[in-house]
Amino acid sequence: MEHDELGAAVHHVSHLVGRFTLRSGQVADEYFDKFRFTGHPALLAAIVDEMAQLVPPDADALAGLEMGGVPLAAALALRTGLPAIYVRKARKAYGTQKIAEGGDIAGKRLVVVEDVVSTAGQVVLSTADLRAEDAVVTTALTVIDREMGGPGALATIGVELRPVFTMSELARLGAGAHPSTP
C-alpha cells in the first residue's frame, strides 16, 4: 500500500471528532483511536511495513510502551526480526518487579515504539526508566505525531522522533478521501 493511501485509510478508520482529553491533560476536538488501526490486521500490517523503514540499522530491540505501543512492537518484531520488549508505565510491585518485560535491556540499543505522540510525556518518562536500567535510547517511532511539541520535548533528552504520519499530513490525506480499507 502506498504511503498516501495508507494515511487516508488510517484517517478513515480511526479519526474521531468530538471532545477528547489527551494524556497530557489537553483537550482536543479530534482524536485518532489507535485501537481501530492496531486492531485491524491488514491496516496494522501496512503500518508496520512503513514503521520498519524507520528503524535504525543498529537497533538491538524494540521497546513497546504500555498500552498502545505493545501491539505495534509485537507486529514490528515479526516484520523486522528484532526482539520486542514491553515497557510498563510503572514498575509492578510483585513477580519480577521489572519496568521492562521480555528480555534484558542493559547495554542494548532500544527503539521506543508508541502509537500516538502529543507532547511525548510518556515517551520521556519511559525513556528515563529504560536509561535507568542502562538501556541506550536515541530513537522513538510513532504512527502519529499530533504536532503538539513531542519532537521538541524528545530532542531535549537526546531522542529523535520518527513518525509514520503527522497530524497535518493525515488531515490532508483524509480530506474528502473515502478509501477502501485494506
Residues ≥6 apart with Cβ < 8 Å to 70? 64, 86
Instruction: Kindly tell me the sign of the dihedral angle through the C-alpha atoms of 46, 50, 56, 57.
Output: positive
Q: Which residues pair with 20 in a beta bridge?
A: 28
What is the CA 67 to chain-centroid distance, rounded? 10
CATH of the domain spanning 3-174, picked from 3.30.70.3290, 3.40.50.2020, 1.25.40.390, 3.40.30.10? 3.40.50.2020
- pLDDT score, position 93: 85
Mean pLDDT of 52-69: 97
**Biggest CA pair distance of the chain:** 50
Mean pLDDT for 108-133 is 97
Q: Is the pLDDT of residue 174 over 50?
A: yes
Of 32-41, 55-64, 101-110, 173-182, the range with the lowest mean pLDDT is 173-182
Q: What pTM was estimated for this model as a whole?
A: 0.93
Query: 92 falls in which pLDDT band (50, 70, 90)?
Result: confident
In one letter, which amino acid is 42? A
Q: Model confidence over 127-160: pLDDT tens digits?
A: 999 999 999 999 999 999 999 999 999 999 999 9
Domain positions in the chain are: 3-174
Per-residue pLDDT, 7: 96
HSE-up (13 A, CA, CB side) for residue 168: 2
Give the pLDDT confidence score for residue 179 in this predicted structure: 47
Q: Which residues pair with 28 in a beta bridge?
A: 20
